[in-house]
Every structure is written in C-alpha cells, then in structure tokens.
Structure 1
Amino acid sequence: MSSINTDEKLNVKTNVEEFDGEILLGTVISASGEETEVHGDLKHMDEALGFALQNDDFQYTEEEDRKVLRKLDFYLIPFISFLYSLFYIDKASNGFAAVMGIRTDMKMKGDQYSWTTSAFYLGYLAFQPIASLSLQKFPLSSTFSVYMFSWAVIICLQATNSSYPAFVFLRTLLGCSEASASVFTTLLTSQYFKKKEAFLRVSFWLATAGFGVFFGNMMAYGIAIRSDQFSIESWKILFIVVGLISFVTAIILYFHVSNTPSQAWFLNERERRIVVERIRENYQGFGNKVWKKHQFLEAMTDIRTYLFFIYAVAFNIPNSALSSFGSILLHTDLGYSSTDALLYGSPQGVVEFIGLPILAYCIQRFNLPRLLTCAILITICICFACLLAFGKDSHTKLAGYYLLGLMQVGPIGSFSYFASNVPGYTKKVTITSVYLVGYCVGSLVGPQTFRANDAPHYNPAKITIVACLAVSAACYYALWAICYYDNKKRDAKQAELGDKYVAPKNIEFSDLTSKENIYFRFTL
C-alpha cells in the first residue's frame, strides 16, 4: 500500500492510495458544504483516471497543446462532421423522396406520408434508452459503427419494395438504428476537447446538417431530372446511393475513430498524455462503464433536465416539420415545380452550414454567454418564422425559410452543454437521453401539424412554428439564469471556505456530478 501525503492545515488528502484495486482520492467538499470521502473500486471512476495516475508532475508547453488541438481538429472534426451530415441526409431522404414520386408510387392518401416520418421517430423514441445505455456500457466508437452499418443496410432495403406497410416498418427500424448518433457525437466531443473548445466543435458537426440539406437536395435534384434514364424509380436510386455512402462511412469509422483518446492511432504516447491533462478542467474524462443509480436520480431531479426536455419538444416540432415538409411547402405554397423545389431548398442548408460556425466562432472569440446568446438568436429566428408564416409574397416567404436555418444554433447550445456542462457519466448520458426523448416527441408531432386539409399553404403549421420557437427561447433564458445563479452560489461557498477550498488531486477523473463537486463551474 502506498503512503498518503496529507496536508495538515487543510486536512485534505492530495495523493491517491491504491489498495486491493480500490482507491481513495481524498476528502471532497460538496456543493452543499458537506465533506465526503471519494473512494471505491477503480471501475467506478472515470477511465481516464488510470492514465492520470501515470501523469504525476507531467508538464507540457502551450505549443504542444496547440499542436495536439490541431491534430484533433484535423483527424476528428471533418470526419465526425461528415458523419453527422449523413445522419441528416439519411433521415431527410424521405422528404426528398416525397417530391420524387414516392407518395404516388405507394398510393399514399391523406396523412399517410406524415406517418412515414413519425414512424422514424417512434422507433427512435423506443430505442433511445437502449442506444444510450449501450454506448455507455460498450466501446463507444465500435458500438456506434455497428449501429451505422445497420442503418445503411435499412436505407438500402427501403428501395426494395413499393409496399406502404413495409416501408413504414423499415422507417421505424431506421429510427432505432439512428437513435445513437447524437449521443455518440456528444460523448466523443467531451472525450477530446476542453469545455471552452466544445461549443465551436459542436457547431462544426451540427452545422453539417446544413451541408446535408444542400448535398441531399442537390443529389436528389440530379437524380430526379434524370429519372427517365433509370430502370427503377428515381427515389429508389436515392435510397441506394445514400445507403451505400453510409455503409462505406461505417467501415471507415470502425478503423479511424478509437474508443478512447488513449487508443487514438494518430497520437503518439506523449500526445495521448497531453489529451488527458487538457480535459482536466472539464471535471470529466473518457467515460465510465458503470451505470450509477444516484447519478440517474440526480439527473431526474434537476430542473435543467426538464427545461431541456421542454425545449427539445418545442424546438423539434418546427424542426422536423420543415425537414419533412420543406420541399412540399416550396412546391405547394411558394409555387415551385417538384424539381425546382429540391433546387430552391438547397440555400437553406448553405445558410446553416456557413452561418452557424460563424456565429459560434463569434460567441467563443468574444467570450459571450453561450446560453444567453443562443436564447437571443432563437428569439431573432422567431422573426424569420413570421416572414414564412405571414409573408405576402413568395420572395418574403422564401427569405424566411432560408434564414430559419440559423435556428439550429439551439441544438449547438444544447449538445455543447451536455458535452461540457454535465460531469458524471451516467448523469450526462441520462440528460442527453431525456433531451433526445423530447426530440423524438417533438419530431413525432411536427409532421402532424401539416394536415392534408390545410394544403396548399399549411397556415396552421406555419403559425405553430412561430409559437414553438417562442417556447424554445424561453427555455434557454431560464437555463442561463439557473446556471448563472448556481455559479454565484458556488463562488460564495468558495469565499466562505477560504484556504480550505483546495481540490484533491485527480478529482477531475472521479466521475463526480456537479451537485457532488463544488469545484465545478458551469460554462455559461
């Protein structure tokens, strides 16, 4: 048994003792002011702790830090961003197929098309808890690559029949397979990047949904205008192409993205140690495979969890509605032909793809409060929704439709919050899952707001978009206020403790939640 060096003045153990596979990190002062000893089996701590123990007195330069960050950005962000754009294309391919003849070929009537979209989110909702738990319990990247392989196969299978019931069944299975995508990208971001870096990186991969809008629309347009050259329906060609791209990407993912930074093939041994040290300030490491009941209960009693749930429901009603019915709206309300609707839908993706990273960079560059700024930007997007809903001519409506792409700053704020502001791995997975359940509920409701009886202008659906964005903005204002005053309380406790306010060594990797750890601060 190794000796423990204890500071007599502060009565805080500053080294880690290992005995029969158990560790004692030291005495921790909780957010409520109570003192708690952090100890237990090594498996209950973060996976990064084992590497942190080898980094005693490890030093590195600012230049090395920048070099490692550049490597992470080069090897991870472009690939993960492309992967996330595929997630959007795969999901939205149903909307592209809608103006390529799938409704006619499958003899859909009334609101049957709406249910092909809702079926996706029913599968997503049902499988979401299982997907999240599996990503925690099993190797992260390897597990997700299996999910991605399965959804590639399912998309290809969508092109094998013209039966409406079979198609709805496959859409449900597709939702089950894709339920892991957002959880995976969030957990991966938290493994590699500092809290202050997460917002911009999340903006990169979320903004590529805009690339998905542009690329998907252009691909569908290119296939649609050549439909007479194919021996099968053009929408089937679309599903096959999208499925094969996803299939190849799943294979690359399995070999390219490691399960933890300590296994990253593109980093040498010293750089891997630097990654561990870089993420200390996050008070979270690589992850923990043990599901912890107390963290789950803490997440379920945190008001922020429910604000994110309400936000997710409200935001994704218009988000999914525009995703599924955007091309139809351009065709029936704004008067463009079926093929032109695909073409004119592309600029919204460009606005999102270019605009979101610029907004995120400005927020990080000028150190603006992220949650508050997101709330203000969503409020501005309400004006764009009003242009679409109440505009008098097609040009005004089209401008509103394009600028609504900027409302995706909301999910950037959400997922960067989960990546950097939720220490405690089980709590992180739980809050992310609750958010995604809200995402599913909103996405289920969204397509149903476009009722067949409201065609061709769908005015009730457009008014719903305005109202839901107002609720979304209100949730973000409340989240910012709660985190702001929580930080104030923690600062007051720090001032009260004075010299006793000293964090035990390696507490960053003890898998403590924000409630358990007074040393943690929310990034606003």
Structure 2
Amino acid sequence: MAAQKSRTSLDRADDKEKDVGIEQVEAAPAPYILDRENDLERVPGRWGYFLKANPSPAFMADVAKMNEQPLDPVVVKRIERKIDMLIMPALAVCYAFYYIDKTTLSYAAIFGIKEDLNLKKTEYSWLSSLFYFGWLLWAFPANILMQKFPLNKYLAANIFLWGVLLMAQAASRNFAELAVLRILSGAFEAVADPAFVLITSTWYTRAQQPSRIGVWYCANGVGIALGGLLGYGIGHIGGSLASWKYEFLLIGALCVGWSIFLFVFVPDSPYFTHWFTREERIIIVSRKRHDQHSVDKREWNMSQMIEAFIDVKTYLFFLFGFTANVPNGGTSNFGTLIVKGFGFNTFNTTLMQIPYGFIIVCFIVGAIYANKYMPKNTRTYLMVATTIPTVIGFALIAWTKGTAPRLIGYWITGASNATFVVGLSLVSGNVGGQTKKAIASAAVFLGVAAGNIVGPFLFFDSEAPGYRTGVIACLASRALEIVIILLLRLVFVMSNKKRDRAVAEGRVTYDERITALEDISDWKNPAFRYVA
C-alpha cells in the first residue's frame, strides 16, 4: 500500500506541466515503510532472501517516468549530501583497515617476527607474496559472488574473516602455519577493491566517481600514518607476548568490530534501504540517467563475459594493475626495512610512515581537484602527471647517498596512489554492463595481485638494506605504467571518434532514455562514450 501511494504521487506529478520539476513529488507523503514486493524482485524460496534482489519492474518504471522530467538541483544536492554522509565514511574506514591489514606483516618484520619464527632466506618474501596468491586464486570467484549476494553484506562478511585470520596469525609458530593463514587472508581480501569501486559506481554518477574514489582512497594514506602510530604504540606494550603478536591481535580485533557495524548500518543498494524515502531512492537512480550505466542486477550475462574476454581494454586494465603494483608489492613489504636502512632505529622508522601517509593524502586530494577543473577527457594525462614523481622518487632512492634525498624520494613515491585513484574511475566509468564491469574490475585486481606477487621477489636479502635491484625494478615498472595509460587513452579516443562519426553520418540512431535503463555493454550501447 505504501508503494502504491508513492507511485500515485509520481503519476500526479507526471500529469502536470513538464517543467514543474520534482517539488510536487517531494511535497507528496514520503513513506519510510518499504514495500519489498513492489520495489524488489527476489529469487523465490528460503534462500532467495540471502541473494541479491533486483529492482522490480514497477520501481524501474517509476525511474523511467522520473527520467522524463528535470530534477531540482537543490533536492538532488540534499540527497547527495545524505549519500556522502552514509557511504563515504564507511568506505574510508574500510579502506584504512584494508591497508593496515595488508602492511601488518611489514611492521611485524621490524618487531622481530623473522627471528621468532626463524624465517630463512626468501621465506619472508614468500609470506609477502603468498597473500596475493590467495587473492589471485579467489579474485574471479569473488567478483561472481559479489554480483550474486547483497554487496555490503558480502563485503562485511569478508572483513569479519580478515580480522579473524589476522588474529590467528598471532598464534603462528613457524613459516608453514603463517603461510597458510596468509593465503586465506589474501583470498578474503580479494573482494575489497572491486567492492569499493562497485559501491561507488552504484551510488554516484560517472562525473562524481573520481572524487568519491579519491575520498575513500585517501584512507590509504591515513592507514599508513595510523599504522605507523599503532606500530609505535604496540611496540611499547610491555606484555608477555612479542610485539608482533599484539600487532596481529589488536588490528584483527578492530577489523572484526568494524565488520559488524558495516553489516548492520550501511545499505546494499539504492533500491531498498530505510535511510531514504521511496521518492529519494528513485531520484538517486534517475540522476544517473546520462551515464549510460545499467542498474545493478543479480544475473550473470554470458554474452557480456565473452565480450569482456575479447575486449583489448580488459587486458590493458590488467597490465595497468600489474605495473602499478609491482612497486607496491615491494614497498608495502620492504618499505619499512628500506627506511630503517637510512639510519633510523625501529621506533623512528614507524614514525617516518606518518609523513609518507600525509603526502599520499595530499597527492590524492590534489588529483581530485585537478580532475574537477581540467578540461574534459584529460584523466589519462593527469594519471601520467602523477606517475612521474614516483619515477623520480625511486631514482632518488637508488642513486643518491644522503639520508634526506633518499627519504624524500621514498615519500614522493606515494604519488602513485593518486594515479590509481583516477585509474579506478576509468574502470568504473568506461565499462558498460554489470557482468562485463565485474570482469573488467577482476582483470584490474588480478593485475594488482600478480604485481604484488612479483614485487617482493625483486628485493634480494643480499642487497639489504638498500635493495638496489628492487628499487630500480620499481622505477622501470612505473615507467611502463605510463605507456599502458597512454595506450588506454588511445583506445578510448579512437572508439569515441568512431561512434561520433557513425552518428553524424546517420548510420546509427538511439534513444538515451531506453539504453540508460538496460543492462547492455559499452560495445552494444551506441549512446556510450568513454572518458579519456
């Protein structure tokens, strides 16, 4: 009954003059009681409650009606502020934990885990890489399950398991036990980045995605700084356990606590949530009418899967993830050891991560504002610009002698985080179709996993503490990343020109209002244009 009243209010608004706007809809009674039957389309049976629910035809019909009339920018802005308050802090906290979790082993290294577990030769590098073997093995299944289950609930369940497995690592007695736990941890963390990107693309327009991805990715820098502070504090705990054990126990417990909060309070989609009225939920979807990105659905589309595997963009996205994360695999696990090699003691080494995290945040914020004011289709140029400082930074580490230039070089390698932020917006904004987008996202993060596997093995114990070969390899990988970015730009620009030419010559016609609501890929959507 509540849903019927809402549709009636929309019908009344639609019958009036076309330029009336959305105020009449807002003036109608806005029920907070949600109608599952009319707004969602669930799988029948007991298990249907646990699977992702599609928006119902009735809900999408009302979205189509709303698409026919202009939206009041004041109302839209108010709703978007509400989305920001609900989604952005949650993703930021998740990402901070995500980064702290991944780098816990790096702090454990300077607190004596190598000696306590009697790790030999390359075993520490193997522990760094085995995490990403788990990630690599589970990345594709994780993306399939992410389309099948309610997104936020699935993410929260995985974060709960991160925390449990991290706490279990404190009980490790040897390399073999820790290796198994690291593989399992990597598998359950494979969902993180793709889930964050998909949540962002679900709630925000294509133009808003770079800035919103930047907001939660800034938590990467916060995580580095907070990790340094936590490491410093944990290192001074005078308990009966080794310091590295407290590192695993405390951070794991924090992850578990946060996962419960996330499960309870953050919604899975705009189609069904008590945080917004029905009219507000319709506006959330309708304001994305020009993006040509379909609604989030449960079904797996085989034709989109085939298309993804023959699309050159998929492989360029993989190479982007790989070249961006060979250096990350090295610095996230050997960064503290490199800095300690500059002449700092253990506790000062942890504190040196604080300015590193702050510089990362500055680069990301700078990239967000630059993207906002730069001309259209210059995102790839911005990515190149933020990659150049990382090349310079690794050169300073490799070929200068003083502590100050090497430390500054290490800090400015953090500019790569800004590159990856803008790069993620290219994936979320330049792939159409839910299944194809899931595969493209998986391709990026398969590259991330592969890069993080390779990275640690380029740092040889015989070269400690300078690790010259590893640092130069990181420099080369960043240079190759620039080439991949420019190739992506070439693909986007050429595709747009080809589509514009077909429309100008009258060979292709389309109705944006129809294509915007269909789950079709970017190849099959003539209204789709790539952001370069």
TM-score (norm 1): 0.88
Contact 1:209 1:349 in 2 (8 A): yes
Contact 1:376 1:473 in 2 (8 A): no
Partner of 2:119: 108
Partner of 1:268: 277
- Residues matched between the structures, number: 478
Partner of 1:221: 232
Contact 1:122 1:444 in 2 (8 A): yes
Q: Could you give the per-residue CA deviations for residues 151-198 of structure 1, whole angstroms, max 9, x where no partner exists?
A: 111011111233221111111110011010011111101111000000
Greater mean deviation of Cα atoms: 475-484 or 365-374: 365-374
- Tell me the amino acid that sits aligned with residue 143 of structure 1: Y
Contact 2:131 2:183 in 1 (8 A): yes
State how 1:242-261 maps to structure 2 within 5 Å: 242-261=251-270
Greater mean deviation of Cα atoms: 408-417 or 178-187: 408-417
Partner of 1:32: none
- Tell me the amino acid that sits aligned with residue 521 of structure 1: R
Do the aligned partners of residues 157 and 506 (structure 1) sit closer, same or farther apart at CA in structure 2, a change above 3 Å counting? same
Do the aligned partners of residues 471 and 504 (structure 1) sit closer, same or farther apart at CA in structure 2, a change above 3 Å counting? closer
Matched, 1:395 2:400: no
Greater mean deviation of Cα atoms: 46-55 or 341-350: 46-55
2:497 to 483, 488, 504: 488
Do the aligned partners of residues 282 and 398 (structure 1) sit closer, same or farther apart at CA in structure 2, a change above 3 Å counting? same
Cα RMSD over matched residues? 1.9
CA shift for structure 1 position 355: 2.3
Contact 1:46 1:510 in 2 (8 A): no
Contact 1:424 1:511 in 2 (8 A): yes
Partner of 1:317: 326
Partner of 2:509: 501
State how 1:104-503 maps to structure 2 within 5 Å: 104-224=115-235, 226-227=236-237, 229-332=238-341, 334-367=342-375, 369-497=378-506, 501-503=509-511
CA shift for structure 1 position 418: 2.0
Contact 2:321 2:451 in 1 (8 A): yes
Aligned residues: percent identity?
Answer: 27
Secondary structure of 1:280's partner? coil
Contact 1:51 1:276 in 2 (8 A): no
Greater mean deviation of Cα atoms: 469-478 or 418-427: 418-427
How far, CA to CA, are the matches of 1:80 and 1:179 in structure 2? 16
Do the aligned partners of residues 286 and 239 (structure 1) sit closer, same or farther apart at CA in structure 2, a change above 3 Å counting? farther
2:106 to 95, 100, 107: 95
- Tell me the amino acid that sits aligned with residue 453 of structure 1: S
How far, CA to CA, are the matches of 1:231 and 1:48 in structure 2? 57
How far, CA to CA, are the matches of 2:274 and 2:391 in structure 1? 45
How far, CA to CA, are the matches of 1:278 and 1:72 in structure 2? 13
How far, CA to CA, are the matches of 1:297 and 1:372 in structure 2? 30
Greater mean deviation of Cα atoms: 387-396 or 88-97: 387-396
| Shift >3 Å, 4+ stretches | 45-50
Partner of 1:34: none
How far, CA to CA, are the matches of 2:57 and 2:217 in structure 1? 30
CA shift for structure 1 position 48: 7.4
How far, CA to CA, are the matches of 1:338 and 1:281 in structure 2? 53
- Tell me the amino acid that sits aligned with residue 443 of structure 1: N
Matched, 1:519 2:530: no
How far, CA to CA, are the matches of 2:521 and 2:355 in structure 1? 42
Do the aligned partners of residues 46 and 264 (structure 1) sit closer, same or farther apart at CA in structure 2, a change above 3 Å counting? closer
Unaligned 5+ segments in structure 2 are 1-50
How far, CA to CA, are the matches of 2:172 and 2:125 in structure 1? 19
How far, CA to CA, are the matches of 2:199 and 2:512 in structure 1? 26
How far, CA to CA, are the matches of 1:509 and 1:96 in structure 2? 48
TM-score (norm 2): 0.87
How far, CA to CA, are the matches of 1:119 and 1:108 in structure 2? 14
Secondary structure of 1:279's partner? coil
Secondary structure of 2:298's partner? coil
How far, CA to CA, are the matches of 1:48 and 1:335 in structure 2? 62
How far, CA to CA, are the matches of 2:315 and 2:298 in structure 1? 25
CA shift for structure 1 position 149: 1.0
Contact 2:289 2:513 in 1 (8 A): no
Contact 1:77 1:205 in 2 (8 A): yes
Greater mean deviation of Cα atoms: 176-185 or 56-65: 56-65
Contact 1:46 1:285 in 2 (8 A): no
Contact 2:155 2:191 in 1 (8 A): yes
Q: Could you give the per-residue CA deviations for residues 193-217 of structure 1, whole angstroms, max 9, x where no partner exists?
A: 0000001111111221111111011
CA shift for structure 1 position 383: 1.5
- Tell me the amino acid that sits aligned with residue 427 of structure 2: F
How far, CA to CA, are the matches of 2:201 and 2:112 in structure 1? 42
Greater mean deviation of Cα atoms: 175-184 or 258-267: 258-267
1:85 to 83, 86, 96: 96
Greater mean deviation of Cα atoms: 273-282 or 394-403: 273-282
- Tell me the amino acid that sits aligned with residue 79 of structure 1: A
How far, CA to CA, are the matches of 1:166 and 1:231 in structure 2? 21
Unaligned 5+ segments in structure 1 are 1-42
How far, CA to CA, are the matches of 1:166 and 1:207 in structure 2? 33
Contact 2:290 2:512 in 1 (8 A): no
Greater mean deviation of Cα atoms: 275-284 or 512-521: 275-284
Contact 2:111 2:244 in 1 (8 A): yes
